[in-house]
Structure 1
Amino acid sequence: MTEFNMLGLDKTIMYNITQAGYDKATPIQAQAIPLVLDGHDLIGLAQTGTGKTAAFGLPMVENLIHLEGRPAPKSVKALILAPTRELVNQICDNLSVFVRSTPIKVFSVVGGQSINRQINRLERGVDILVATPGRLMDLVDRRAVYLDSAKMLVLDEADQMLDMGFIHALRKIAPLLGTPRQTLLFSATMPKQMEELAGAFLTNPKRVQVAAPGKAADKITQSLHFVKQAMKVDKLKDCLDETEGQAIVFLRTKHTAEKLMKHLVAEGYTAASIHGNKSQGQRDRAIKAFKSGEIRILVATDVAARGIDIPDVSHVYNYDLPEVAENYVHRIGRTARAGKDGAAVAFVDAQEIGYLRAIQKVMKMNIPVESGIEPAAEDPPKRGGGGGGRGRRGGGGGKPSGGRAQHARGGKPGGFKSGGGGGKPSGRKPRRRKPAA
């Protein structure tokens, strides 16, 4: 791997990253940083967890150090767009390390926080602004920030921005940006719509691809269990009891994620949840507690599939398989970070066989089966059902059931009980459940 001191970075930046433990550049960093320093527009394709933030953050800081003058009021020198609040916060955390002992100021704007505070801060101008597209457009509409002086633009996790419907906001942002500028687009995948986006923002870009789209990190051990929806909670607790280390558990819907978290807390596990119904403060506190080790289990929807960089996550559990196959790759990329090993475990019900086949097609591999026998495929749950009603004769007809599977006969709900706990992380260590009477 390339040494960072061979990339021509400023000595202050080198000191900062050395103190932070950066040693050798990852492949995406080694290939992208020289091209960015040479002034090229860039399309960077790399799987999650490969160090994309440093690949654009380090040369951005390098360029701004040599750019004289403070930013004008309500202006920015560089703009970074990312799809989620969590990813914006992670980028800011990394940039804060890079800019220590320099005059460069980094500021972030996301939804769920006081827009008046953000407006007041932008009055003074910002060197690097990191933003979600929606909140940025709110600020532009209020004439709180002008983008025509930005000399550098980064679109991070651009494919997820498209998936989340930000294409319209991005189309509005493009003509507001000044020229000439340098534009960098980073993504884990390259869908067809991305070509249109690249054409609108980039000029004669160089392309760097360090791993085939859909390929997971080499140090992730993958496995799956074929298990009925109603039995998933017991399988999850068995897995948690048999292993140590921190774990992220992914579900499809906000409602079922919250219910599972409360059930785990009631059973004595230390757990918290993050999803779209949580305020930004609640999400930040949950991630802080998870990072510090105060809680062992983070229950989440795909809002956490990208943007969480915690080196000690040993296991990722796909309690529900994602509807979008590529999201599986992003989910399991939350483990095996910073050179560590990790495990990704999936629980697959008959209704999810179609999702499993799509995931294995994207991954170009068959995920090893740890237990169970592959059932005959059933119709997938309706969107928003969260793996609820099974839709069988006498059952719930596919209607959402709050994460409880419907029995074939009588329609009685199964699955986990909501329990108590109020959703607050328990301070107790995980314990084994008492055997059923």
Structure 2
Amino acid sequence: MSKRENESEGLSDEEESKYVPLKERKRKLIEKHLKSLPSSTLAEDTNSRDSVASSSKSGNSVIGPVFESIGPNSHLSLLDQHNELKRKATHQKESDREKQIKEEQKILESVAESRALLSFTELAKGIQYNDPIKTSWTVPKCIENLPIARHEEVRKLTGIYVDGEDIPPPIVSFKDMKLPKFVINSLKERGIVRPTPIQMQGLPALLFGRDLIGIAYTGSGKTLAFTLPIFMFCLEQECAMPFGREEGPFGLIICPSRELARQTSLFIKEFSSAGLRDGFPEVRVLACIGGESIKNQIETIKRGVHIVVATPGRLIDMLDKKIINLNICRYLCFDEADRMIDMGFEEEVRNIISFFKAQRQTILFSATMPKKIQNFAKSALVKPVTVNVGRAGAASTNIIQEVEYVKPESRIPHLLQSLQKTSPPVLIFAEKKQDVDAIHEYLLMKGVEAVSIHGGKEQEERTWAIDKFKSGEKDVLVATDVASKGLDFADIQHVINYDMPEDIENYVHRIGRTGRSAKTGMSTTFVNRSIQEAVLLDLKHLLIEAKQKVPEFLQNLGGEIPYGEGVNIGCTFCGGLGHRITNCPKLEAQQSKTASNLGRKEYLAKGSADY
């Protein structure tokens, strides 16, 4: 050992030749360090020196007491210090999260519309309904007498989440729901033998007269869940007292697109035809949609109509002209409810509600229904029951989702390669009408049997295209999002997204045209650099949630899955998983649009005042 090393260790030259224990060397080194401290500090460290002395006499280590005067956590091991820092970081993260949740709740409350489902008369007079509508249907005794634990077990096994007061129990067979024999036979003819989860819980609640918010993935049988109760109520009314001329409707179903309204009316008419064959009276159904002869619709109304399935525009026109009235209407259903709000039908919904003369049973159904829609619905409905099968906005796990990076100029030629993945029928979606026309023309040139629909085509042409595609005469249907909302096409093998929609909800509805009724399907989506990063993040987390393969260019995008559990994760405004409501691009766009409209109105008001 060198002289310099001995001095650094606090040893004299005399001690160099003999062995000094490590503990003793450290003690001398610390004493030397304490002697070198200023006089003001020595007084404070007297206790430490005494500790050193006493520790050395007793043979104990002096490192701990002395280090207490050197560092605040020197008495803790590194592992303990690490755990303490980790605990503090977790606590801070939880505090920040709680703070953000409160902030998000305030934002959600500020944008939630709480009066859209209340009529002007009810608002003006302060009319409130405290109890749901009473019906003649009751829960079978064999089901009612079962323990509550059994009902909870059924919901748990089928993935049903429920919320509300006095919720009717789930019923796992149509026979136990006390449906007529002809209805059960009609369902069997369609291949429907037992109810799906949304029907197990939704049908008993609706037959019992409860207001309901129903949320389930695409192709899960939502249409049957809300059309069957309204059919049964109308059949009961007709049997008790037949509808006279110009009387009705008793039930009203509002849809966001003409194609969906037409499909729903045909679905109910099949029940009516089955009842006629079994000796029951006819339940008359009217599809009240634009683009079709209003004269034929008026003739149906004059005979007396039980159920009207309508789009908002044509219905308001007929209500304003007093061609139709809602004086005895007691059943109101919004199919694809969130889509209607997003499409700008808020004012139309308020106008329609104002034509009701009494309490009604109100139902909202959709595959994607963010918290903003659920909250405003709960504020207007009477003791509503919320039935949620899976997460609102989640994609069906029966669909294999593929995402491909394709340059904008290469998309149309790339379609032919994508069409080779499966056999027909195939659906191709595009955002713009001109893209739909361009794709349709290209496919026809390549010899593909294709038809197309969009909002710019005549209704007769749209109906013809849908019928040809459904019958199998055409292999490919090219469409805008008018075909993405609720339409049921049999055995769709493949859905191709020519472009990524502007929000993830439209994506879920588009790919939901395949993989329906427990069948498998496939979707292919073209993406490129023009798409917003927020939309791509939503897509990435949706793929992760559905356990799909995430392409490398999406994996490189940052962002963790937003916090939350079960049905409450993601953005509460649009349902996207890649962001929170505090940075929701859809909300930002809506607020910008509202601000620009307000500015325009102010400008016009000033201009009119000047002149």
TM-score range, shorter chain: 0.7 to 0.9
Partner Cα distance (1:362, 1:139) in 2: 42
Asked if 1:70 corresponds to 2:242, the answer is yes
Partner Cα distance (1:166, 1:226) in 2: 35
* Secondary structure of the corresponding residue to residue 123 of structure 1: helix
Partner Cα distance (1:20, 1:373) in 2: 43
Match of 2:262 in 1: 89
Partner Cα distance (2:396, 2:373) in 1: 23
Q: Which has the larger radius of gyration?
A: 2
CA shift digits 1:208-228 (9 cap, x unpaired): 111201211121001111111
CA shift digits 1:373-420 (9 cap, x unpaired): 56999xxxxxxxxxxxxxxxxxxxxxxxxxxxxxxxxxxxxxxxxxxx
Q: Structure 2 matches for 1:134-145, cutoff 5 A?
A: 134-145=313-324
8 Å contact 2:213–2:386 — kept in the other structure? yes
* Secondary structure of the corresponding residue to residue 347 of structure 1: strand
* Secondary structure of the corresponding residue to residue 404 of structure 2: strand
Match of 2:54 in 1: none
Distance 1:374 1:38, change over 3 A: closer
| Counterpart selection for 1:5 from 175, 179, 183 | 175
TM-score by length of 2: 0.59
Match for 1:343: what amino acid? M
8 Å contact 1:77–1:150 — kept in the other structure? yes
8 Å contact 1:247–1:313 — kept in the other structure? yes
Q: Structure 2 matches for 1:108-187, cutoff 5 A?
A: 108-187=287-366
Partner Cα distance (2:410, 2:257) in 1: 32
| Counterpart selection for 1:308 from 456, 463, 487 | 487
Q: Which moved more, 1:221-230 or 1:178-187?
A: 178-187
| Counterpart selection for 2:540 from 360, 370, 374 | 360
| Counterpart selection for 1:79 from 215, 240, 252 | 252
8 Å contact 1:151–1:178 — kept in the other structure? no
| Counterpart selection for 1:99 from 272, 275, 297 | 272
| Counterpart selection for 2:448 from 269, 274, 292 | 269
Partner Cα distance (1:269, 1:305) in 2: 22
* Secondary structure of the corresponding residue to residue 80 of structure 1: strand
Q: Structure 2 matches for 1:191-230, cutoff 5 A?
A: 191-195=370-374, 197-199=376-378, 202-230=381-409
CA shift digits 1:189-244 (9 cap, x unpaired): 23354246525752111111112012111210011111111111222111213431
Distance 1:281 1:197, change over 3 A: farther
Partner Cα distance (1:375, 1:50) in 2: 30
Match for 1:264: what amino acid? L
Match for 2:204: what amino acid? P
TM-score by length of 1: 0.81
Match for 1:39: what amino acid? G
* 1:85 CA drift (Å): 0.6
* 1:4 CA drift (Å): 1.8
8 Å contact 1:350–1:376 — kept in the other structure? no
* Structure with more strand by fraction: 1
Q: Structure 2 matches for 1:28-43, cutoff 5 A?
A: 28-43=198-213
Match of 2:499 in 1: 320
Partner Cα distance (1:54, 1:374) in 2: 37
Q: Structure 2 matches for 1:323-342, cutoff 5 A?
A: 323-342=502-521
* Secondary structure of the corresponding residue to residue 223 of structure 1: strand
Partner Cα distance (1:199, 1:239) in 2: 43
Distance 1:311 1:239, change over 3 A: same
Match of 1:295 in 2: 474
Match of 1:428 in 2: none
Match for 1:359: what amino acid? L
Partner Cα distance (1:308, 1:188) in 2: 12
8 Å contact 2:255–2:310 — kept in the other structure? yes
Number of residues paired by the alignment?
376
Asked if 1:49 corresponds to 2:219, the answer is yes
8 Å contact 1:27–1:210 — kept in the other structure? yes
Match for 2:251: what amino acid? A
Partner Cα distance (2:404, 2:500) in 1: 12
Partner Cα distance (2:215, 2:496) in 1: 25
* 1:28 CA drift (Å): 0.5
Partner Cα distance (1:137, 1:375) in 2: 48
* Secondary structure of the corresponding residue to residue 351 of structure 1: coil
Asked if 1:233 corresponds to 2:412, the answer is yes
Quick one: percent identity of the two aligned structures? 39
Q: Structure 2 matches for 1:241-252, cutoff 5 A?
A: 241-252=420-431
Partner Cα distance (2:421, 2:250) in 1: 51
